[in-house]
Amino acid sequence: MENVWIAFGLTLFAGAATGVGSAIAFFAKRTNYRFLSVSTGFSAGVMLYVSFVELFQQGAANLVAAYGARGGHWANAGAFFGGILLIGVIDKLVPSAENPHEVHGEEETKPLHDVTAPWPNFADASHVGPLAATGEHDHRPHYHHGKLLRMGMFTALAITIHNFPEGLTTFLVALQNPGLGVVIAVAIALHNIPEGISVSVPIFYATGDRRKAFTYSFLSGLAEPAGAAIAYVAMLCFLGGAADIPPQLVGALLSGVAGVMVYISLDELLPTSRAYGKGHDCVFGLVAGMAVMALSLLLM
């Protein structure tokens, strides 16, 4: 039971980082884009390394023990690509007006924390950023920008739905190995920081309400502990508890989680890291994440 509370706590920590990203957007005088690039690349490095070196191997060991060498390895590969298919289907079905991980430039984020700063000219084609193409012309803070609001709400919805499998991932890994769960939770938390900015910016410009923008951003992150809760209830209903999971199911879940994390890393984290950074910032973060993960596994 102790591991269950640890797993829930780590999942809540990872989800709350979306609110941290929103807070940075509203209170930091300047957005440190290089930090966002390196930290997002770091998250990708952690997830890729742990997926292939730890989770996929543990999944194979459990499934081979249950089904033999040939059947176990086939089941393991199937679970891995099944995880990729699951998150890919979710990605395909989620309605999205804009890329939820789009970079918002300094001109867009400055009015969030400085009430005297001029609002960006969204109608200017030369303006850099995802809000440039909205075509809105009235920049009064309390003017209801319908298209911006839709963008912000769709972004919040997309991130909320994506956070369910991320929360389930953190929870399942932490149940099996709390030490490994800490590393995964930190990686997902770093990944959630730019997501908080992505939700806050369009909602703020649509409503002029900082509190509302922060609230929607924070609530989108709470989908992660909600995903963990759903996983735990399912375990209680179908398996009698977290301690009674059959080893072959544990193996399939670990390999499926590895597939989910590989998809997230390649489809979300690395492109976001490249967009925020300059030069080799993305690669530096990626290698650093792998190195930290390797060191953590060696010390554990």
User: Mind listing the pLDDT tens digit for each residue in 243-281?
Assistant: 667 888 889 988 998 998 899 899 888 988 887 778 788
What percentage of the chain has pLDDT greater than the value 90? 23
The per-residue pLDDT for range 62-83, each reduced to its tens digit, is 999 999 999 999 999 999 999 9
What percentage of the chain has pLDDT greater than the value 70? 78
Q: Which two tokens stand for residue 5?
A: 């509370």
The pLDDT of 14-39, averaged and rounded, is 80
Q: What's the chain's length in residues?
A: 300
CA pair distance 111, 113, nearest whole angstrom? 5
In 10 A of CB 63, how many CB atoms? 28
Nearest alpha-carbon partner for 169 in 220, 221, 227, 235: 227
Q: One-letter amino acid identity for 127?
A: H
The per-residue pLDDT for range 139-175, each reduced to its tens digit, is 444 444 566 677 667 777 777 887 888 888 888 888 8
Q: Which two tokens stand for residue 79?
A: 């679970």
Going from N- to C-terminal start, the domains of the chain cover: 2-299
More confident residue, 177 or 98: 177
Task: Give the pLDDT of residue 51.
Answer: 93
More confident residue, 100 or 16: 16
More confident residue, 218 or 157: 218
